[in-house]
Structure 1
Amino acid sequence: MQVTETLNEGLKRGYSMVLTAKELDDKVTEKLKEAQPEIEMKGFRKGKVPLPLLKKQFGQRVLGEAMQEAVDGAMSKHFEDSGDRPAQEPSVKMTNEDWKEGDDVQIEMTYEALPEIPELDLKKVSLERMVVKADEKDVDEALSNLAESAQDFADRKKGSKSKEGDQVVIDFVGSVDGEEFEGGAAEDYPLVLGSNSFIPGFEDQLIGVKEGEEKDVNVSFPEEYQAAHLAGKEALFKCTVKAVKEPKAAEINDDLAKKFGAEDLDALKGQVRERLEAEYAGAARAVVKRSLLDQLDDMVSFELPPAMVEAEAKQIAHQLWHDDNPEVQGHDHGEIETTEEHTKLAERRVRLGLLLAELGKRAEVQVTDAEMTQAIMNEARQYPGQERQFFEFVQQNPQMQQQMRAPIFEEKVVDYVLELATVKDKEVSKDDLQKAVEELDKE
């Protein structure tokens, strides 16, 4: 195939490619010869159908496939010979729209090449990493929160009225149109008022009841209720209040520790301390990563593919617009104009994205199957009961796989750079770390 350069400006490239009629015909013949041994036709033994007859019968069908393969082959050879790497999928179109069989095929290919990324001496990167130790006050506060989440309930003074947050122990029998229904009755049922675990309106009507009181609760089942025969129906629940209990935080002792799987209180404190310091370390990593990216951004300068910057700027503008207009859920709004600020941020993101990708390529950073599987499993937990379907969806969707692989790859490249950089740990307070994290959100 004849390939002629038509554009070479900055990172923009253009080529005219001519697939001659003979080359195309030879390609069709080659494909028919490959298929010939398996073709059967009336009057001929399998594999013995003459090539001219095959061409007459199947030539038109094979023509498009042969043309596509020839173009793909020419593109692959061009990129191999030139060393170019397209920033995005090349634009390929046929220019002689009046083409007919027997004519040469004229094709135009345009793309933006990825720039050459300069070598960096990563040992020149100097960073300070915040380290926060969990003090006794932090641990005690976390333990208090655990005790509150593991709250018990104690009987209120006899004759006290129930309040939201209290637990009422009730017997109840439900009926629709005077008929009791299956699953509509229970005894000694502990119901926390305000938990929204019952039909809407049920718990509200039990606020203000006393021990020993009988209460009729009238509610309507939701229209989308899971039991179709009850959906939208009005129901009466006859309730007997057997106890009214107030919430009481669990005591911070060995029994609380055992509730959370620890051997004793000291062991639970150790676990809490480790969890807190892991959280602090995660926040400190976000701060040091931003500092690292800032330094890398200052260290490099290279031409950026305009289309990549434009696409990124549009995405940034779109996301920020939705952040400012949370009531708009869909994307059927007018076009959102990009500003100089959007473009400047896009340039930084594209530059750093290309740089990290190149650093990872040179360092042969790979995302393992085990890391991908773990990431998919973590994401799948957000869809209770549909984990299997989510896993299968990701396996069948290469674009989704790439979206999940990209952040893992980036973090591994950051780890690689941090290993080479000069990083000094500095012990700071939790408040100092919090301020640094808040500054990240402002930028």
Structure 2
Amino acid sequence: MQVTETLNEGLKRSYTITITADELDAKVNEKLTEAQPEIEMKGFRKGKVPMALLKKQFGTRLLGEAMQEAVDGAMSEHLEASGDRPAMQPEVKMEGENWKEGDDVVVAMSYEALPEIAQPELKDLSLDKMVVSADDEAVEEALSGLADQAKSFADRDEGAAAENGDQVTMDFVGKVDGEAFEGGSAEDFPLELGSGQFIPGFEEQLVGVKVGEEKVVNVKFPDEYGAENLAGKDAEFTCTIKAVKAPAAAELNDELAKQFGSESLDALKEQIKERLEAEYAGAARAVMKRALLDKLDEVVSFELPPSLVEAEAGQIAHQLWHEENPEVEGHDHEKVEPTEEHTKLAQRRVKLGLLLAEMGQKNEIQVSDAEMTQAIMNQARQYPGKEREFFEFVQQNQQVQQQIRAPLFEDKVVDYIFELANVNEVAADKDALKDAVEKLDEE
């Protein structure tokens, strides 16, 4: 077996692998010798079938297996000897259109090697970490939100008109083109006016109704409405008002706290403060992570595999196209060509992805089985009643596992860098943190 280099330019590599006919024949004989003791054939005892007959019977089939194993073995030996790590699966093509049994096998192999990546001096990286405390105003605001969730409704005085924020209990029948439609009717339905629970324009027309009144509401279903038979259609709802109730916010006391699992109002406030500060810390980490990635992008430079950049740019262009065309669900549309902006973003992502992967590998950072299990369970909760099915689906799908593992690995590498970098804590308020987070979305 011979491997001859035909191209070594930048990260591009090409080789010719030659496997002689004798080598293939030896591999076929080796396979037959290994299998011979278990082979039975009419006229012969088990394990006593002559080699020549076995070769005539099974040789052609085993030749293909031997050829594939020889090529795979040659590739593995070459990569181990050279130290190359292909950026993507190597392209392998058999040369010669008229190959026949007894000829040498010549295969062309090409790939792009991953570049050598030098780890930056992490202690020289300076990062600011925003530290935000939950003040009394923020705690009280969150507490008011909880009280609003626990609010009750009480009947208004007889003859009182419904106001925005009131709860109206009603029977209604919806019609399109004069015909009632499925799901368009209900009895004793409680609707909080201004909640946005119904389609636009519906709730506003119920402001001012009174108990016993029959109100006809005319609306138009949105063009992108989920039910195609209703999308963009004019509809008429006949509503019979049975009750009008005004909201009453829950009192801020120990009883309210117990509804949310706390022993007292003071304990609930402390829980709210801890939750808010955990949210602030998570947001501050996201801001610091972006700053870190920006710095790494500036200080680290190495040649990027063109195939990875091209693939990433194509994926970015495709994803953004679907965001701009949400009505197109399938992927059978014309190819979306990446722009210069897409390619620039792809270069950044590929560079940082390769850098973090290299740093994680060199520093033996791994995602544990327990961390993976916890992440899968967290995602499974998004499918109530089908958690087990989701868990089993992930267990059987390597690609989905990688999609879950990748962000976990990246965050562990980022945390490793944070530990070694020069991190300066900067006191800030929630408004400054909010502005910093909003800037992340703009970039």
Q: Is the 8 A contact 1:193 1:206 kept in 2?
A: no
- Give the 5 Å matches for 1:373-384: 373-384=373-384
Q: Which residue of 2 aligns with 1:235?
A: none
Unaligned stretches of 5+ residues in structure 2: 173-184, 216-226, 228-239
Higher deviation after alignment, 391-400 or 159-168: 159-168
Q: Which residue of 2 aligns with 1:84?
A: 84
User: How far apart are 1:334 and its partner, in Å?
Assistant: 2.1
- Give the 5 Å matches for 1:108-127: 108-127=108-127
* SS across alignment from 1:144: helix
* SS across alignment from 1:108: strand
Higher deviation after alignment, 29-38 or 77-86: 29-38
- Give the 5 Å matches for 1:319-334: 319-334=319-334
Instruction: Measure the CA separation in 2 of the matches of 1:28 and 1:207.
Output: 86
Instruction: Describe the shift of the 1:375–1:212 C-alpha distance in structure 2 as closer, same or farther (beyond 3 A).
Output: same
Q: Is the 8 A contact 2:171 2:189 kept in 1?
A: no
Instruction: Measure the CA separation in 1 of the matches of 2:326 and 2:170.
Output: 42
Instruction: Measure the CA separation in 1 of the matches of 2:362 and 2:291.
Output: 22
Instruction: Describe the shift of the 1:211–1:70 C-alpha distance in structure 2 as closer, same or farther (beyond 3 A).
Output: same
Q: Which residue of 1 aligns with 2:292?
A: 292
Q: Which residue of 2 aligns with 1:221?
A: none
Does 2:65 align with 1:65?
yes
Instruction: Describe the shift of the 1:129–1:171 C-alpha distance in structure 2 as closer, same or farther (beyond 3 A).
Output: closer
Does 2:150 align with 1:150?
yes
Count, aligned residues:
414
Q: Which residue of 2 aligns with 1:310?
A: 310
Q: Is the 8 A contact 1:193 1:207 kept in 2?
A: no
Equivalent residue letter for 2:429: S
Instruction: Measure the CA separation in 2 of the matches of 1:287 and 1:427.
Output: 14
Instruction: Describe the shift of the 1:106–1:185 C-alpha distance in structure 2 as closer, same or farther (beyond 3 A).
Output: closer
Does 2:352 align with 1:355?
no
Q: Which residue of 2 aligns with 1:370?
A: 370
Instruction: Measure the CA separation in 1 of the matches of 2:347 and 2:244.
Output: 63
Instruction: Measure the CA separation in 2 of the matches of 1:139 and 1:125.
Output: 35
State the percentage of identical aligned residues: 69
Higher deviation after alignment, 307-316 or 12-21: 307-316
User: How far apart are 1:398 and its partner, in Å?
Assistant: 0.7
Equivalent residue letter for 1:380: A
Q: Which residue of 2 aligns with 1:10?
A: 10
Q: Is the 8 A contact 1:161 1:207 kept in 2?
A: yes
Instruction: Describe the shift of the 1:212–1:73 C-alpha distance in structure 2 as closer, same or farther (beyond 3 A).
Output: same
- Give the 5 Å matches for 1:90-109: 90-109=90-109
Instruction: Describe the shift of the 1:425–1:240 C-alpha distance in structure 2 as closer, same or farther (beyond 3 A).
Output: closer
Instruction: Measure the CA separation in 1 of the matches of 2:385 and 2:162.
Output: 36
Q: Is the 8 A contact 1:165 1:192 kept in 2?
A: no
Instruction: Measure the CA separation in 1 of the matches of 2:357 and 2:208.
Output: 63
Does 2:403 align with 1:403?
yes
Higher deviation after alignment, 367-376 or 148-157: 148-157
Instruction: Measure the CA separation in 1 of the matches of 2:103 and 2:132.
Output: 73
Unaligned stretches of 5+ residues in structure 1: 173-183, 216-223, 225-238
Q: Is the 8 A contact 2:162 2:209 kept in 1?
A: yes
Instruction: Measure the CA separation in 1 of the matches of 2:330 and 2:163.
Output: 41
User: How far apart are 1:60 and its partner, in Å?
Assistant: 2.1
Instruction: Describe the shift of the 1:167–1:294 C-alpha distance in structure 2 as closer, same or farther (beyond 3 A).
Output: closer
Instruction: Describe the shift of the 1:248–1:40 C-alpha distance in structure 2 as closer, same or farther (beyond 3 A).
Output: farther
Instruction: Measure the CA separation in 1 of the matches of 2:165 and 2:64.
Output: 71
User: How far apart are 1:209 and its partner, in Å?
Assistant: 7.8
Instruction: Describe the shift of the 1:58–1:348 C-alpha distance in structure 2 as closer, same or farther (beyond 3 A).
Output: same
* SS across alignment from 1:109: strand
User: How far apart are 1:240 and its partner, in Å?
Assistant: 11
Instruction: Describe the shift of the 1:314–1:171 C-alpha distance in structure 2 as closer, same or farther (beyond 3 A).
Output: closer
Higher deviation after alignment, 244-253 or 89-98: 244-253
Instruction: Measure the CA separation in 2 of the matches of 1:374 and 1:282.
Output: 19
Instruction: Describe the shift of the 1:52–1:249 C-alpha distance in structure 2 as closer, same or farther (beyond 3 A).
Output: farther
Q: Which residue of 2 aligns with 1:432?
A: 432
Q: Is the 8 A contact 2:210 2:241 kept in 1?
A: no
Q: Is the 8 A contact 1:167 1:190 kept in 2?
A: no
Q: Is the 8 A contact 1:162 1:168 kept in 2?
A: yes
Instruction: Describe the shift of the 1:196–1:294 C-alpha distance in structure 2 as closer, same or farther (beyond 3 A).
Output: closer
Instruction: Measure the CA separation in 2 of the matches of 1:438 and 1:196.
Output: 25
Instruction: Describe the shift of the 1:207–1:359 C-alpha distance in structure 2 as closer, same or farther (beyond 3 A).
Output: same
Q: Which residue of 2 aligns with 1:343?
A: 343
| Deviation string, structure 1 residues 188-220 (Cα, Å, up to 9, x no partner) | x7844678999xxxx9999988668999xxxxx
Instruction: Measure the CA separation in 1 of the matches of 2:246 and 2:41.
Output: 86
Equivalent residue letter for 1:249: A
Instruction: Measure the CA separation in 1 of the matches of 2:145 and 2:30.
Output: 74
| Deviation string, structure 1 residues 25-49 (Cα, Å, up to 9, x no partner) | 1111212222222222222222222
* SS across alignment from 1:296: helix
Instruction: Measure the CA separation in 2 of the matches of 1:171 and 1:266.
Output: 43
Instruction: Measure the CA separation in 2 of the matches of 1:51 and 1:420.
Output: 65
Equivalent residue letter for 1:301: S
Q: Is the 8 A contact 1:258 1:264 kept in 2?
A: yes
Higher deviation after alignment, 420-429 or 324-333: 324-333
Equivalent residue letter for 1:342: H
Instruction: Measure the CA separation in 1 of the matches of 2:65 and 2:9.
Output: 33
Equivalent residue letter for 1:383: Y
* SS across alignment from 1:426: strand
Q: Is the 8 A contact 2:209 2:241 kept in 1?
A: no
Q: Which residue of 2 aligns with 1:181?
A: none
CA-atom RMSD, angstroms? 3.4
